A and B are shown apart, each in its own frame.
Chain A
Amino acid sequence: MTGPALGDRSVPPSPGPIRPYEFPDVATTRLANGIPLRTVVPKTPLPLVTAMVVLKAGETASPAGQAGLAFLTSAALEGGTTARSGKELAHALEEIGASFGGATGWDSTTVAVSCLAEHLPLAMGLLAEMVRSPAFEPAEFDRFKAQRLAGARQRLMDPATLAKDAHARFMHRDDDTYARPLVGTEASLEGLSDDDAHAFVASCYGPAVAEVVVAGDVEPSEAAAAAEEAFGSWDAATAPVAEPRVGLRGRERVVHVVDRPGAVQSEIRTGHPGVARSVPDYLAVQVMNLTLGGSFSSRLNLNLRERNGFTYGVRSGFAARRGPGPFSVSTAVETKVTGAATGEILREIESIAADGPTAEEVLSAVSYLAGVFPLRLETTGQLASRIAEMIVHDLPEDYYRSYRDRVRQVAPEEAVQAARRHLRPDELCTVVVGDATAVAPQLEALGAGEVVVHESSGGRRP
């Protein structure tokens, strides 16, 4: 038990002199057809580059009844172009060691290629082919659709995604944009065809809603030449940026139990529609959320995990979308403590909604956000993604340059106000995916709202 001499160990060491950090310069120019081109060189360049097309057209733009169309369309871009098959496309990209793919969120679709910097012109050309002239050859499109349909079946049997999807459904009205899964449902995907994908591209992919980002060890003039060659002649009319429809299903607490007979754990989600990315106090919301459940040392994690041992982990978050994305707390707990754990979650939300974080907690959260900022900007992909976020959410040009200063200016009182303004403990919608026979009685006693039990669609064995 006896260790070596203690020396001066009892006091944590003092920091050395702070070293400066600045977000790298982002140069913005325009292609001949007006598409903005943003180039950035990372601080520590390896000979790598990420080229990304950012389209302000995400799942929000999918027409009514066609949930998942934006997602399926971007996934199927790699299925081939009017000039080459999907297989030829993949081989051409992987011969130069590139990784590639499309990603769709609620507000945007990004298509990116990452490779050695020397291959940028070739990679940019293939990227443009995918975005500008996808073939959606019917049999190949049908394969991507079959993959997503099988994926939808997997979602129904994975307790965590089942809980996430059920929470979105129960906290919103049926026709709210955010009531459905981003990837669509089995029912909505069934109805989609290659014609729909062509129609989506025709109306939503075009220079009016596009920007090109090049992050990497590349001269801006070379990036400009490659982008001009690939996208300078792109001429297509597009629909205006789609805005989400979001309301509230109810204004009372409610608990939905989705039955998974015999489950050893319960997946818990609780929350309500939150705030849009554009709210003026967005940073104060982030600071407040870090204290509640956004870090290891958060109130929720120290309570549920480190004090009570109910769970492997718990977190809270505000989804950043153009519309008010959900505020939600998520965790998985042992079946027999489902009621107790849910009660603790509700108490923590009530407590911070009433009094906000303490001044000391705000100081820690501010220091954390400012400190980890450069840690998340090391790769060309991370840099490109941050710039995409700037584009999609119309953030000012100096947003990242001034980010750390603005974070440090969040005052304790603003974080308190953010908690009081944006958390509504009386309107919490809770979803529990677990063994209903065991957990419903535990939840009845909580005052968490009426308990409604649903038979799980995922419990129906395929």
Chain B
Amino acid sequence: MVTRPAIVVPFEEHMLANGLKVVLAPARATPVVGVNLWYAVGSRNEPPGRTGFAHLFEHMMFQGSAHVPKNGHFRRVEEVGGTANATTWFDRTNYFETVPSHHLDLALWLESDRLGWMLPAMTEEKLENQRQVVMNERRERYDNQPYGDWDERLQALLFPADHPYHHTVIGAMEDIASATLEDVHDFFSTWYRPNNAVLTICGDFEPDHAIARVQHYFGDIPSGPTPPPLPGKPEIPFATGGTLRETVESAVPLPRIYAACRIPPFTSDAFYAGEAASCCLGMGRSSRLHDRLVRTRVAKSASCHALPLATGASIFLLVATGYPGTEVGDLEAALVEELDDLGTLGPDEIARVAAGRETRTLRALQQVETRADFLSMYATLFGTAARLNDDLARIRSVSAEDARAWSCAYLHEENRVFVRYVPEAQR
């Protein structure tokens, strides 16, 4: 057995007095530096009637702070030759800049200004502008898009109304439209506190210098109270109690099925077995779905992912698209057959999955932006960034028996939902 390369991303972890966790991962060969912040707040934290607010708030974070004008954040980063962005997801919101390394202070100044001094810059006019922008984002990605509402339908089917994953990140149009400036103030004060964040710096910098600069920019931002508990009931059985199904006739070009099972969360010890099973099933062109559905023309394409969600449960997701004329019932039957057959997973399949995962992970780590994001993710969800450096050992330690047992436990017929899209009848 050849010894496989481990990931070794050298890093150190610090904690400021105000609770801000800091991860420093120097790598000095290329003169660029990535700054990445994870706030432990996402769509899961939204109460009923306020869906989509975590994401709208993320947009407001670019509308300026006490010392940075509206759009000054993007302008200053772009004019020094850097890139910036942010994303909102179920469990977290991340903000990141990649800049030439001699502009590290600029990125820290910009990020700290909005963590410490955002609210004085908020106005009704800015909020109205970003409500319109986000409503257009929703129209572009959901309402004006074939299959655009798939995740709304799937999440509503997979999770009960009182689970934080029942609704989507984008949220309902009427909730976005009714967000107020008071909501912005409350959300900021509750969630955007240094003790609810991880700051990672990755790339070309000297750690002692960097931690001093972090202390300089972030050190006097006060910590906040312990964040309130999640709304609803996050703890939930890993079974839906049956096979649930919704068939949607709409303006889509091809029949397609989104299928899902409710599985233990990303943070559970068994998750790697589930990830391995998902890859055997639907990652790459030697996977079962590719060999048995795509090569045989049952499906035009098919894939499978175990999503890395951390709150109570996660989603095992399958997507299969048919050809014109494919019956969704046949497509569903083919997916069911594959789910039922996972008890036959063999060591050769598991070995292939580990090899592919190793290459994909190393490829992702080539980029300073991704490296920083991985470190922030592990530090936020697992308490330490060290998890990154034994990630590959964990995926390699999964045996075929582990993946078979995990599949039997969580992918059975009492835990499946199907959203089935059928093209509207030809007029």
Contacts and interface: CB of A to CB of B under 8 A. Distances in A.
B230 to A, nearest CB: 27
Interface string A142-179: 01001100110110111100000000000000000000
B366 A9 contact: no
Contacts of B346: none
A375 interface: yes
Interface in B108-138: 108-109, 113, 116-117, 119-120, 128-137
A296 B76 CA distance: 11
A10 to B, nearest CB: 5
A97 B105 contact: no
Given A15-B106, A97-B359, A368-B81, A159 B145 contact: yes
Given A95-B355, A371-B81, A20 B70 contact: no
Interface stretch (A193-201, A239-247, A303-311, A349-357): A303-311
Interface stretch (B263-271, B289-297, B377-385, B400-408): B289-297
A19 B144 contact: no
Contacts of B301: 147
B252 interface: yes
B30 A97 contact: no
A296 B98 contact: no
Given A19-B101, A461-B427, A312 B359 contact: no
Interface in A6-48: 6-7, 9-10, 12-21, 42-44, 46-48
Contacts of B409: none
A138 interface: no
Contacts of B366: 42, 44, 46, 48, 378-380
B23 to A, nearest CB: 18
A445 interface: no
B28 to A, nearest CB: 9
A265 B359 contact: no
Interface string A35-72: 00000001110111000000000000000000000000
Contacts of B324: 150, 153, 462
Contact of A147 (B80, B300, B425): B300
A137 interface: no
Contacts of A96: 355
A409 B427 CA distance: 59
A270 to B, nearest CB: 18
A135 interface: no
Contacts of B113: 9
A312 B137 contact: yes
A276 interface: no
A140 to B, nearest CB: 8
B253 A334 contact: no
A75 interface: no
A143 B204 CA distance: 48
Nearest to B354: A97
Interface in B270-312: 284-286, 290-291, 295, 297, 300-301
A78 B220 contact: no
Given A9-B109, A368-B78, A312 B136 contact: yes
A1 B119 contact: yes
Interface string A351-381: 0000000000001100111111111001111
A295 interface: yes
Given A97-B355, A150-B254, A297 B74 contact: yes
A99 interface: yes
A20 B30 CA distance: 9
A290 to B, nearest CB: 9
B133 A97 contact: no
A310 B143 CA distance: 16
B362 A48 contact: yes
Contact of A91 (B30, B131, B135, B286): B286
Contacts of B78: 295-297, 364, 368
A285 interface: no
A46 B389 CA distance: 14
B251 interface: yes
A363 B140 CA distance: 33
B358 A97 contact: yes
Given A3-B66, A15-B105, A46-B366, A378 B30 contact: yes
Interface in A303-329: 305-307, 309-312
A264 interface: yes
B96 to A, nearest CB: 12
Given A157-B251, A370-B81, A461-B425, A311 B297 contact: no
Contacts of B362: 46-48, 116
Interface of B: 5, 27, 29-32, 66-67, 70-71, 74-76, 78-84, 98-106, 108-109, 113, 116-117, 119-120, 128-137, 139-140, 143-146, 204, 220-222, 251-254, 284-286, 290-291, 295, 297, 300-301, 321, 323-324, 351-352, 355-360, 362-363, 365-368, 423-427
Given A44-B30, A461-B251, 17 more contacts: A13-B105, A16-B103, A18-B100, A87-B295, A99-B363, A116-B359, A150-B324, A263-B144, A311-B140, A364-B78, A371-B81, A371-B82, A371-B99, A373-B81, A380-B363, A461-B424, A462-B254
**Interface pairs A-B: 7 shortest CB-CB:** A371-B81, A309-B132, A97-B355, A19-B31, A13-B105, A97-B359, A312-B137
